[in-house]
Amino acid sequence: MTAPVDLANNPLTHWTGPLGLPDFTSISQADFGPVFDRAIAAHQAEVAAIVNNPAPPTVENTMAAMELSGEALERVSSIFWCLAGANTNDEIQRLERAIAPKMARHYSSISMNPALFARIDALYQQRTTLGLDAETLRVLEKSWKGLVRSGARLDAEGKTRLSAINERLAALGARFGQNVLADESSWAHFLDGGDDLAGLPDFLKGAMAAAAEQRGQKGKYAITLSRSIYEPFMMFSERRDLREKAFRAFTGRGENGGEADNGEVVRETLALRAEKAKLLGYASYAALKLDDTMAKTPAAVLGLLEPVWEKARSRAAADEQELARIAAAAGRNHPIAGWDWRYYQEKLRAERFAFDEAELKPYFQLDRIITACFDVATKLFGISFEERVGIATWHPDCRVFSVKRADGTPFALFVADYFARPSKRSGAWMSALQSGFGLGKGSRPIIYNVMNFAKPAAGEPALLSLDEARTLFHEFGHALHGMLTEVTWPSVAGTAVSRDFVELPSQLYEHWMTVPEVLAAHALHYRTGEPMPKALIDKMIAARNFGAGFNTVEFTSSALVDMAYHARGDAPDAPLAFEAETLEKLGMPEAIAMRHRTPHFGHVFAGDGYSAGYYSYMWSEVLDADAFAAFEEAGNAFDKATAEKLLKNIYAAGGSKDPEELYLAFRGRMPTAEAMMAKRGLT
């Protein structure tokens, strides 16, 4: 007979590692299933104690008790989902398929508990007479509305059906992500050298050699579907046949037939989402998801996206003519195809600005860009970072940093996992092992960033592209949002804000990467230590909006297709045909692919995070363009007074107030889309 799980002493729930981390050296995958089951049962018991409390509901015995419940479940969950994204394997994936629906079922039972809703509803109806501070009032209102949107007012039959829908959607989301990872990790095309490598710069050949060796093909060069290899290969390879092979593999992820095909997963997901919205009384799933955002309605989203789309499509059409001119001059009279665009665009950049991306890479060494991120945070917010070596995490590549206030007091931990590997899903993200808040005994934030940069050969430095350096700043902006939080309630801590506000701190932080004094201090040649020459900086700045048509078409088409799927009252029977029809109506350029086609659109289908919400990157971009202008107007990218307002109202405030109220407190007014379009070079 198996001994019962002791949550008080299991390393998944009782963290005894250095600096308050879990002891990753003691974690056993075999423990996850039993610990999840025991932690769910413990959480259910805590909720039962709250709803069965004979005392009248109060903020303390109901709201605070609910927010502090489920600690063991949160701890095991944070470790498990970290591994599922950053260092998975067959056993983790098997567990994920079982745990995702189980967790959905558990949280559905809580959100639909009539006795719990009765207690929250009693407080909500009295909210104006309870003397609540602004943050507590907001948490109460969000809790009440969240329960209603989760089915608290449905009848028994409706609750049963909604719970089943949520459970199935969780299973589908896990399957979708695993299918994409299977296609990404299993596909590699190996090259022998010679003509196969024509046009490739040394940094890319080194990354491809390392990727091949990692896959057991030492001495060869691997094209992989990691963006850190795929995109530069598409820029520089002179072999059109190889570019086509890579392009078709990249854009075909999740659409290859067999067990890893996502076509049926997407169809069922959209059907269940439409049914869920109707069950909850919404006209569409987009209406449901946008109810608690700044945008509020699909019409408001389209009001932003459609004008941008028209400008971007026009710019891309003009650029395509220029690319065809360059191809023709080289004796290539074929139409520009999807596998040609990046290649000829890079030649057009060289023609217009007399430099290419390969010239920048030697100045964007990973370690120096990490230091640049830290340096900017020190100048803006007075915090510092100390690396702590020799601390075990989920993978040997991870690095751990203690984060300290100006007086030297540690207040957060930051863990960074930078390099691509087959066990990691693609993309870049921020998450938390532990959020920071003040309620009860309080909690110190433990925040992590995950990237997918190409790992260099042993002894060689990791060099980043301009876009990768921006990505590093972007995700670190999210990390700061999590680390700098100064709120009481866990449910509004850090990045727990509306989806179309959460990208503001990250996208805003990108601006500091190209501030002259940051470049001067950190954009140093990895061999000579010399700063990037002013002439090259000037070219880089002049070219910052180069390719705006292509980049904006890639993004906006994805956002428009996402909204088209979810703004309908029903679901399309054939989603991929619907994708094609939608793009045809939009006038999508044939030579440009969506940044995320439906079968691998993880933001939207590998879970619920950005469904009907991919537009939020652009919505936040409207805000970030205007927000950085506040520093420009002050005449100093590190203006102290502006930085203090930024910290108080954006990075530290979490979701403690309505996002519009927070932005107005920082800037004094709301922005218009013109600043964003000017930033993109579309005016």
Residues belonging to the active site: 475
Phi, psi of 223, rounded to the nearest 5 degrees: -85, 125
Contacts of 279 by beta carbon, 8 Å cutoff, 6+ apart: 151, 154, 158, 161, 162, 165
CA-based R_g, the chain, Å: 25
Residues 544/307/608/44 CA torsion (nearest 10 deg)? 110
178 vs 184: CA distance, rounded Å: 10
Enclosing H/E stretch for 542: helix 534-542
77 vs 60: CA distance, rounded Å: 25
Q: Which two tokens stand for residue 548?
A: 């705006």
How many CB atoms within 10 Å of residue 331?
A: 6
399 vs 415: CA distance, rounded Å: 6
635 vs 629: CA distance, rounded Å: 10
- Tell the burial category of 120 from Cβ atoms under 10 Å away from its Cβ (0-12, 13-18, 19+): buried
15 vs 107: CA distance, rounded Å: 24
Q: Which two tokens stand for residue 294?
A: 């700044």
Q: What is the SS3 assignment for 364? A: coil
77 vs 83: CA distance, rounded Å: 10
CB 510 within 8 A of CB 470: yes
Q: Which two tokens stand for residue 212?
A: 């091949």
**Selection from 195, 204, 202 nearest residue 226 by Cα:** 204
Contacts of 125 by beta carbon, 8 Å cutoff, 6+ apart: none
214 vs 419: CA distance, rounded Å: 12
CB 35 within 8 A of CB 76: yes
347 vs 591: CA distance, rounded Å: 17
140 vs 63: CA distance, rounded Å: 7
25 vs 200: CA distance, rounded Å: 41
CB 130 within 8 A of CB 169: no
CB 73 within 8 A of CB 43: yes
Sheet holding 399-404, edge to edge: 384-388, 399-404, 410-419, 446-453, 429-434
Give percent helix, percent strand, percent coil of the chain, each to the nearest 5: 60, 5, 35
Bin 382: left if φ > 0, else alpha if -120 < ψ < 50, else beta.
left
